[in-house]
């Protein structure tokens, strides 16, 4: 199975909030469980996966498959398909977005 970026993250406004939106293509045997790993980018120094205690972290607002919104951390989609991830970034930071996929049946069995 494959999850490919269709677009770079773009700044947008949704429901009066500044967000990042990025589209992905999913292919391979399905259904597919998608998971997003969000972190604060540190430029040349990498990224901050574990924020300091009390620090703001990027948040998943929703996944949009064109049929409806899923306001969950993970998202199960049919394959092949396209989906948009909408994220609330931490102000004045770089947000790194990594989406991975696994066969939903394999995840449920483990």
Where in the sequence is the domain holding 97, given as residue range(s)?
Answer: 2-109
Q: What percent of the chain has pLDDT over 70?
A: 85
User: What is the per-residue pLDDT for 49?
Assistant: 60
* pTM confidence score: 0.86
- Predicted confidence (pLDDT) per residue in 52-61, tens digit: 667 789 999 9
CATH number of the domain that 43 lies in? 2.60.40.10
- Pick the range with the lowest mean pLDDT from 28-37, 38-47, 68-77, 78-87: 38-47
In total, how many domains does the chain have? 1
Q: For every residue of 49-65, which 3-state class applies, written as one string?
A: CCCCCCCCCCEEEEEEC
User: What is the per-residue pLDDT for 93?
Assistant: 87
User: What is the per-residue pLDDT for 37?
Assistant: 94
């Amino acid at each position: 199975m494959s999850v490919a970026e269709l677009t770079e993250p773009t700044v947008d406004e949704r429901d009066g909030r500044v967000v990042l939106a990025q589209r992905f293509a999913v292919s391979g045997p399905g259904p597919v469980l998608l998971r997003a790993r969000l972190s604060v980018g540190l430029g040349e120094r990498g990224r901050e996966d574990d924020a300091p205690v009390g620090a703001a972290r990027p948040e998943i607002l929703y996944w949009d498959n064109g049929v409806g919104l899923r306001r969950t951390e993970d998202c199960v989609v049919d394959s092949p398909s396209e989906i948009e991830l909408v994220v609330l970034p931490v102000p004045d930071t770089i947000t790194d977005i990594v989406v991975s996929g696994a066969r939903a049946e394999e995840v449920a069995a483990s």
